[in-house]
């Protein structure tokens, strides 16, 4: 079967990489909305229109399932996509619930890294309100991080300095978990692991998303894979250079998988 993965840029490749390892007998189409990346600093209604148009193009590839591999896009458009298309559609949300559950016994706080748009949306507020009974969740917008990632800026000195500046006002002894609330952010997991105190765990929603995908495929009786892990890359800007960048970024993830 053919499974689609959609994101504004290369962030969703962190989710695709998880799926390629767990569900290797499928084929994949990956679409990046390169005309409009990043989403996290743009108006909500504009982003909604970008998503619907790009996914409409993807559907011409004969998708049998879709992963909206972007927290912001999920918040804005996943319900409308499910109304439009009669295939399994999996969205994402920041892994706040498992982080809170993991931290409950420690008395430590949870710090969520996310884009400004994700943090401003009612869906994020509702998520935190639902799971954060003890008021232990803090949120840190990182508007520049998607730009760094899209530029393939993974230099440890440059990015270490960036994270140290962003965290300068936080007493990290009070925190037990950092949540990577944007699919671009796991590219920086190893840099954060070196930077953060060893007692702080780092979580993202990628593994849970792919477990959910596998469960839905099984329920729809389309689990039996006929593919070979082939990935077709697409982007709204139709730039060959960006296709090359996606291939490079996916290979980087495979080489650096924890």
The rounded distance, in Å, linking the Cα atoms of 196 and 173 is 10
Q: Is 190 annotated as a binding residue?
A: no
**Active-site entry in 92, 119, 180, 182:** 182
Is residue 71 annotated as involved in ligand binding?
Answer: yes
169 annotated ligand binder: no
Has 28 been labeled as part of a binding site?
no
**String of DSSP letters for 76-98:** HHHHHHHHH--S-EE----THHH
149 is catalytic: no
Whether 184 has a binding-site annotation, put simply, is yes
Q: Which of 1, 20, 70, 210 is catalytic?
A: 70
Residue 199 preceded by cis peptide, ω within 30: no
For residue 176, say whether it is annotated as part of any ligand binding site. Answer: no
Give the containing element (helix H, strand E) for 5. strand 2-7
Q: Is 39 annotated as a binding residue?
A: yes
Pick from 193, 207, 197, 194: nearest CA to 108? 197
235 assigned to active site? no
- Is residue 7 annotated as involved in ligand binding? yes
- DSSP string covering 165-234: HHTTT--GGGEEEEEE-STTGGGGHHHHHHHS-TT-EEE-SHHHHHHHHHHHHHHTT--S----S-EEEE
Annotated binding-site positions for substrate: 7-8, 39-40, 71-72, 183-184
Active site residues: 70, 182
């Amino acid at each position: 079967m053919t499974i689609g993965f959609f994101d504004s840029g290369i962030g969703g490749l962190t989710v695709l990489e998880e799926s390629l390892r767990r569900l290797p007998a499928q084929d994949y189409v990956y679409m990046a909305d390169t005309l409009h990346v990043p989403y996290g600093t743009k108006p909500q209604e504009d982003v909604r229109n970008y998503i619907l148009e790009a996914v409409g193009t993807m559907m011409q590839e004969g998708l049998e399932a879709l992963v909206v591999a972007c927290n912001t896009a999920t918040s804005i458009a996943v319900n409308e996509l499910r109304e439009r298309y009669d295939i399994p559609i999996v969205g994402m949300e920041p892994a706040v619930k498992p982080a809170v559950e993991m931290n409950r016994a420690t008395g430590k706080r949870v710090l969520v890294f996310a884009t400004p748009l994700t943090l401003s949306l009612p869906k994020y507020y509702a998520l935190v309100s639902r799971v954060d009974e003890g008021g232990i969740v803090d949120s840190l917008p990182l508007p520049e991080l998607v730009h760094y990632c899209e530029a393939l800026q993974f230099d440890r000195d440059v990015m270490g300095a960036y994270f140290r500046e962003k965290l300068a006002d936080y007493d990290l002894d009070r925190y037990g978990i950092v949540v990577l609330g944007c699919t671009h952010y796991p590219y920086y997991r190893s840099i954060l692991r070196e930077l953060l105190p060893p007692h702080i765990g780092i979580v993202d929603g990628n593994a849970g998303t792919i477990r959910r995908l596998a469960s839905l495929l099984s329920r729809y009786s389309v689990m039996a894979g006929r593919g070979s892990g082939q990935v077709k890359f697409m982007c709204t800007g139709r730039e060959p250079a960006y296709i090359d960048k996606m291939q490079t970024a996916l290979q980087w993830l495979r080489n650096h998988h924890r």
